Every structure is written in structure tokens, then in C-alpha cells.
């Protein structure tokens, strides 16, 4: 496939994502890769006369090619989303008159239900994290905070000391797209945080400037998202939770617990920092699945029971 080069429209869009949307370099790179791939495909298959000349049929043929390559449905959706965002930008800037993606509808994919932990499993993990070792104190505070706030792993890894109000039990979270929100935490999380901040963190700090990042690694440096994933896998497996685990499952656990205990969907949406309610609605399927299992367990028309009457 011929290498595609950046053109004026793409440069404008990348600048928009960086300066106005304030997306991360990784997200911007993903958009750029998707758009350059589409451009390369059109160049190699009949020519490319500029983004303003792309028609709906061109987009449909490109999507057919993605499907023929047997790419994951999520990958196809992401690439289509990149094209939609790009052409929405070009239309609003009046660079193109007609958005070639606006009439294209992707077949809805089957959503996987989010994986989450049950309360007894998390208690098992928390119970395993008791001791005066600074890393143990850190891990207890870390996973307590994940579970009781529903924060993203990126939000936890970049969390600064001045974002936490221990008295009010509130955290100011700097979320995706530079959107701030407040989340609350409970007494148990407060106790774990207080212990870690006043004892464990001080022992982890090395000589030099304090980054003010809440969670540190054994070398006194900020604990990265990859580091959190590694620590979680090790801690959960040692506590008897088998299989592969991921911090996002703690976020799912928070949302599921909130809904199971009667929270309304809008409140959960706000706490999770979801822009669209539809993103939060996936958790209603989890709770409904949970209710269905309970129903089948406790409301069974069992012939043996009927015979015993």
C-alpha cells in the first residue's frame, strides 16, 4: 500500500484535536493513522482527488474492504468513527459541502457485558492488604479508591494531592476531553488514603522534588497506568482471584453496585464522566442479567417442591 502524506485538511484537523479538543497525543495519532489508511486505500484503488471529492460510495467500498480483511467489529467502528469526526469537522469549517459519511449506518455490534467483581471478591482482596509495608498501604488505598469512585485508570495514575479533600471525602477529577467532575468516596477509602498519605507515601518518597502525584512506585516515581495494571494482576491473583484482571473492571464494579443499590442512571453517568447516557446504559444490562439470575434461582417452579406440598 502506497504511503499517504499529510495534507492541509488533515493538518487542520490534527491541530483542532490538539488545541481545541485537547486530546492526548496517543488519541490524535490514532485518528491520523485511521485517516491516512483510508486515504491510502482510495489512492491504491482508483485514485484520490482530495478529501472534498470523496463520495458516500467511496466510504462504503472502504468499509467493505475492512470487513473483507476480517478486522474486529470494534476496529471497523473506530475507523468509521474517525472518518465521521473528520468530515463533521470539514463540514462545520465549510471545507466540504456534503458529508459523505452522514448516511452510512454500521450494523450494530453485539455488546459484551462489562466484567465486574462481586462484593465478596473485593472484600477478599481488601482483607489481604493489611500491614505496615508502604506498598501494601498504597495498594489498599489504590484499589479502595478505584472501587468507591469508579475513576478511570488514567485518572487515578495522574491524580494529584491537591485534588483530594479528605474532610469532604471528595475528589476533583480531571477527566477525558479536559472535563472536570467531582466524585465521592466512603469512610473506608478515607481511612486507607489517610494511612497511605501520612505513612506509606512518605516512605516511598525519595530525595528530590515531590511530583505531588498521589500514587508512587517503589522508586518514588509516579505509578503509571501500566504499573497499576501490573500491580492489580499480582495483588488480585495473590488474594485468590484467578485469571486476568484489569483496572477497568473496578470501574464496572462501581457502576454495577450503584445501579444494583438503586442509583439512577443520570447520577451514575455523572460520576463516571460519560458524555453520553447511552455509554452508561450498558450497565443496566449487567444489572438486568443479575436480576434474571436471581429470579431463576429464587423463583423456580420446581416440581419437587410442588410434590412436597
CATH of the domain at 240: 1.10.443.10
Say if residues 203 and 138 touch (Cβ distance below 8 Å).
Answer: no
Residue 245 CB contacts under 8 Å (≥ 6 apart), including other chains? 232, 233, 236, 237
Average pLDDT score over the chain: 82
Neighbouring CB atoms inside 10 A of 209's CB total 7
Mean pLDDT of 195-222: 90
Report yes or no on 105 lying in a domain. Answer: no
Q: Is the pLDDT of residue 64 over 60?
A: yes
pLDDT digits (tens, 9 = 90+) for 245-283: 888 888 888 777 776 667 766 766 767 766 565 555 555
Mean pLDDT of 182-197: 93
Q: Are residues 70 and 137 in the same domain?
A: no
Mean pLDDT of 158-185: 89
| Domain of residue 50, residue span | 8-92
Distance in angstroms (rounded) separating the CA atoms of residues 150 and 282: 15
pLDDT of the residue at 112: 55
Mean pLDDT of 215-237: 94
pLDDT of the residue at 48: 78
Q: Is the pLDDT of residue 95 over 90?
A: yes
Q: Are residues 21 and 125 in the same domain?
A: no
Question: Domain ends where: 75, 92, 109?
Answer: 92
Say if residues 137 and 178 touch (Cβ distance below 8 Å).
Answer: no
Least confident of 162-176, 184-198, 261-275: 261-275
Say if residues 145 and 129 touch (Cβ distance below 8 Å).
Answer: no
Distance in angstroms (rounded) separating the CA atoms of residues 17 and 11: 10
Report yes or no on 223 lying in a domain. Answer: yes
Q: Are residues 256 and 124 in the same domain?
A: yes
Comparison of pLDDT for 67 and 125, the residue scoring more: 125
Q: Are residues 29 and 150 in the same domain?
A: no
pLDDT of the residue at 308: 46
* CA distances (Å), origin 247, targets 161, 201, 227: 21, 21, 11
Neighbouring CB atoms inside 10 A of 60's CB total 14
The beta-strand segments (E) located in the chain are: 164-165, 170-174, 180-184
What is the strand order of the sheet 164-165 is part of? 164-165, 170-174, 180-184
Q: Are residues 145 and 234 in the same domain?
A: yes
Report yes or no on 168 lying in a domain. Answer: yes
Report yes or no on 192 lying in a domain. Answer: yes
Question: Domain ends where: 92, 108, 130?
Answer: 92
pLDDT of the residue at 149: 87
Q: Are residues 198 and 125 in the same domain?
A: yes
pLDDT of the residue at 302: 53
Q: Are residues 134 and 258 in the same domain?
A: yes
C-alpha closest to that of 143 among 203, 221, 220, 231? 231
Q: Structural domain tally of the chain?
A: 2
Question: Which residues pair with residue 216 across a beta bridge?
Answer: 222
Distance in angstroms (rounded) separating the CA atoms of residues 14 and 6: 10
Report yes or no on 309 lying in a domain. Answer: no
pLDDT of the residue at 305: 46
Report the CATH number at residue 47.
1.10.150
Cα torsion angle, 215, 218, 219, 223, sign: negative
Q: Are residues 48 and 181 in the same domain?
A: no
Backbone angles phi, psi at 296, to 5 degrees: -65, -30
Q: Are residues 157 and 288 in the same domain?
A: yes
Say if residues 160 and 213 touch (Cβ distance below 8 Å).
Answer: yes
Least confident of 91-95, 138-142, 202-206, 232-236: 202-206
Q: Are residues 151 and 14 in the same domain?
A: no
Which residues are marked as active site?
Answer: 152, 176, 248, 251, 274, 283
Tell me whether strands 164-165 and 180-184 are parallel, antiparallel or unpaired: unpaired
Q: Is the pLDDT of residue 5 over 60?
A: no
Report yes or no on 226 lying in a domain. Answer: yes
Q: Are residues 143 and 80 in the same domain?
A: no
pLDDT of the residue at 307: 46
pLDDT of the residue at 74: 80
Neighbouring CB atoms inside 10 A of 279's CB total 12
Percent of the chain clearing pLDDT 70 (strictly above): 78
Q: Is the pLDDT of residue 287 over 80?
A: no
Report yes or no on 301 lying in a domain. Answer: no
pLDDT digits (tens, 9 = 90+) for 296-305: 555 555 554 4
Whole-structure pTM value: 0.56
pLDDT digits (tens, 9 = 90+) for 100-148: 998 887 665 555 555 778 888 899 999 999 889 999 999 999 999 998 8
Report yes or no on 235 lying in a domain. Answer: yes
Amino acid at each position: 500500500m502506497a504511503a499517504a502524506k499529510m495534507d492541509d485538511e488533515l493538518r487542520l484537523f490534527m491541530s483542532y484535536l490538539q488545541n481545541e479538543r485537547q486530546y492526548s497525543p496517543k488519541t490524535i495519532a490514532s485518528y491520523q493513522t485511521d485517516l491516512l489508511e483510508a486515504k491510502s486505500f482510495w489512492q491504491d484503488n482508483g485514485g484520490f482527488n482530495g478529501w472534498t471529492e470523496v463520495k458516500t460510495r467511496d466510504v462504503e467500498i472502504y468499509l467493505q474492504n475492512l470487513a473483507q480483511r476480517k478486522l474486529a467489529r470494534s476496529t471497523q467502528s473506530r475507523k468509521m468513527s474517525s472518518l465521521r469526526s473528520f468530515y463533521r469537522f470539514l463540514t462545520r469549517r465549510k471545507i466540504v459541502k456534503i458529508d459523505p459519511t452522514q448516511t452510512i449506518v454500521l450494523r450494530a455490534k453485539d455488546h459484551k457485558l462489562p466484567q465486574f467483581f462481586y462484593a465478596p471478591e473485593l472484600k477478599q482482596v481488601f482483607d489481604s492488604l493489611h500491614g505496615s509495608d508502604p506498598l501494601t498501604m498504597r495498594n489498599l488505598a489504590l484499589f479502595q479508591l478505584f472501587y468507591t469512585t469508579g475513576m478511570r485508570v488514567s485518572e487515578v495514575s495522574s491524580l494529584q494531592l491537591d485534588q483530594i479533600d479528605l474532610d469532604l471525602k471528595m475528589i476533583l477529577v480531571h477527566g477525558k476531553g479536559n472535563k472536570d467532575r467531582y466524585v465521592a468516596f466512603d469512610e473506608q477509602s478515607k481511612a486507607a488514603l489517610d494511612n497511605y498519605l501520612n505513612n506509606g507515601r512518605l516512605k516511598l518518597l525519595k530525595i528530590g522534588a515531590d511530583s505531588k502525584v498521589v500514587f508512587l512506585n517503589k522508586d518514588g516515581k509516579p505509578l503509571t497506568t501500566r504499573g497499576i495494571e501490573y500491580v492489580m494482576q499480582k495483588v488480585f491473583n495473590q488474594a485468590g482471584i484467578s485469571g486476568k484482571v484489569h483496572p477497568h473492571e473496578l470501574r464496572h464494579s462501581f457502576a454495577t453496585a450503584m445501579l444494583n443499590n438503586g442509583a439512577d442512571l443520570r447520577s451514575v453517568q455523572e460520576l463516571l464522566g460519560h458524555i453520553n447516557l447511552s455509554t452508561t446504559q450498558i450497565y443496566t444490562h449487567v444489572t438486568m442479567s443479575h436480576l434474571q439470575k436471581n429470579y431463576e434461582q429464587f423463583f423456580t417452579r420446581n416440581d419437587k417442591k410442588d410434590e412436597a406440598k
